[in-house]
Amino acid sequence: MAAVTPPVAGRGSVTEVALVGAGRMGSMHLRAIAGSASIRVTDVVEPYPPRREQCAAAGLRTHATIEDLLANGTPDGVIVCAPTDQHASVVRHLLASGVPVLCEKPAGLSSREVAETGRGAGPGAVLQVAYWRRFVPALVALRDRIAAGEFGKVLHLVCAQWDGAPPPPAFRAGSGGIFVDMGVHEFDELRWLTGCEIEGVLAVTTPAVDPAARPDADVGQVLLSLTDSTTAVVSLGRHHPVGDLVSVEVFGTVGHQRLVVLDPAGGEEPMLDALRRQAESFAELLATGVRAGAGIDDAVAAMRTAESAANSAHHPH
Ligand SMILES: NC(=O)c1ccc[n+]([C@@H]2O[C@H](COP(=O)([O-])OP(=O)(O)OC[C@H]3O[C@@H](n4cnc5c(N)ncnc54)[C@H](O)[C@@H]3O)[C@@H](O)[C@H]2O)c1
């Protein structure tokens, strides 16, 4: 964990945050954080009136724009769940207004955009990027076991993310494509689990079966080489009809482990648990300056790998 300064004081013992964007992911954050004793959502910024009304009916203060939110006071922090193509402008606006931000992945549509957002943040700004796998207790334990040498030399990892069904074509159009929208989770997870950097990337894709969703792909398969001569495979897919699947497998010289993080039979509870822990880590960052989650450099690294994968798939070897 790295310390960041200066810490930002929360209000009393409960950190009060606003949510920007109350769509699919924003709603998941609301459900997850409802179970927390250390952080709560008080306000929602959402341009779509029916969603604003739903949030108001749930007892939240609602605003159509960030200007409206800030005109009514400054929250301790903001969780950004706006569409990916708006991350950069929304995050820059909030940071420039002195508001700490926990931004959903990928925090921009290109590594350059993410890096510029980070550079523009300034020394006192607080920005965490929401890579929730870092808050799954079983993955934290796996990372500790790798670091303790329990697998010997880690030779190979297999990371899979297969979603139950694709998101709507309109979402996919502004999502950056399968490697940015989905793959960044696995690319961040590989670096975080192993402590290695990703060096080589080779990818193939299967075009979306729905013509309205193209040029996005339904399947992306990525071969990676990491520093320390470790290799990895990342398997991404948008059609897993029984439900969302996320898994990780580690092959070492003296050990092996396969871990199912999201199991269709088990539902979304592990993700909700990790989202709550992640929000609490944001509250901890604001209160103490201690960072447990991903920062801007991690987000840039994940995006660079996503871009390499997309370039490689467009120019097959
Ligand atoms: N971490 C994960 O596992 C995960 C999963 C799904 C989505 N996401 C991320 O969450 C983000 C949102 O995805 P989603 O699936 O919820 O999309 P969505 O389209 O369902 O929801 C986005 C919401 O933001 C609102 N919005 C649009 N512009 C806005 C603005 N300028 N300010 C405030 N709100 C605005 C929209 O009206 C909508 O309600 C994306 O960046 C996506 O990458 C992360």
* CB of 51 sitting under 6 A from ligand 1: yes
* CB of 244 sitting under 6 A from ligand 1: no
CA 302 – CA 305 distance, rounded (Å) = 5
Query: pTM for this structure?
Result: 0.94
* CB of 43 sitting under 6 A from ligand 1: no
At 4, the pLDDT band (50, 70, 90 cuts) reads very low
- Find the mean pLDDT for residues 158-186: 96
Q: Which of 66, 81, 93, 139 maximizes ligand 1 atoms within 8 Å of its Cβ, making it the mutation to test the pocket?
A: 81
Atom of ligand 1 nearest to the CA of 51: 39
Q: How does the average pLDDT of the chain come out, rounded?
A: 94
Identify the structural domains of the chain with CATH numbers, from first to last: 15-132+272-294 (3.40.50.720), 134-266+302-312 (3.30.360.10)
CA 289 – CA 4 distance, rounded (Å) = 5
At 88, the pLDDT band (50, 70, 90 cuts) reads very high
* For ligand 1, atom 9: residue with the closest CA: 104
Please write the tens of the pLDDT for every residue from 38-52. Answer: 999 999 999 999 999
Residue 30 CA, ligand 1 centroid: distance in Å: 13
Using DSSP, state whether 20 is helix, strand or coil: strand
Please write the tens of the pLDDT for every residue from 181-232. Answer: 999 999 999 999 999 999 999 999 999 999 999 999 999 999 999 999 999 9
What does the DSSP assignment read for 70-99? Answer: HHT---SEEEE-S-GGGHHHHHHHHHHTT-
- Find the mean pLDDT for residues 135-149: 98
Cα-based distances in Å from 257 to 119, 147, 262, 272:
38, 14, 16, 24
**With helix as H, strand as E and coil as C, how does 160-223 read?**
EEECCCCCCHHHHHCCCCHHHHHHHHHHHHHHHHHCCCEEEEEEEEEECCCHHHCCCEEEEEEE
At 7, the pLDDT band (50, 70, 90 cuts) reads very low
Nearest residue to 296 via CA among 138, 87, 25: 87
* CB of 81 sitting under 6 A from ligand 1: yes
CA 230 – CA 214 distance, rounded (Å) = 33
Structure-token pair, residue 24: 């699919």
Q: Which of 62, 104, 139 maximizes ligand 1 atoms within 8 Å of its Cβ, making it the mutation to test the pocket?
A: 104
At 165, the pLDDT band (50, 70, 90 cuts) reads very high
Asked if 117 and 296 touch (Cβ cutoff 8 Å), the reply is: yes
Query: Do β-strands 127-130 and 101-104 pair in parallel, antiparallel, or remain unpaired?
Result: parallel
Asked if 31 and 277 touch (Cβ cutoff 8 Å), the reply is: no
Residue 199 CA, ligand 1 centroid: distance in Å: 30
CA 295 – CA 284 distance, rounded (Å) = 14
* For ligand 1, atom 6: residue with the closest CA: 25
Residue 128 CA, ligand 1 centroid: distance in Å: 17
Atom of ligand 1 nearest to the CA of 132: 1
Atom of ligand 1 nearest to the CA of 26: 16
* For ligand 1, atom 33: residue with the closest CA: 21
CA 67 – CA 253 distance, rounded (Å) = 55
* CB of 135 sitting under 6 A from ligand 1: no
Using DSSP, state whether 260 is helix, strand or coil: strand
What does the DSSP assignment read for 105-168? Answer: TTSSSSHHHHHHHHHHT-TT--EEEE-GGGG-HHHHHHHHHHHTTTTSSEEEEEEEEE-SSPPP
Residue 86 CA, ligand 1 centroid: distance in Å: 9
Residue 14 CA, ligand 1 centroid: distance in Å: 25
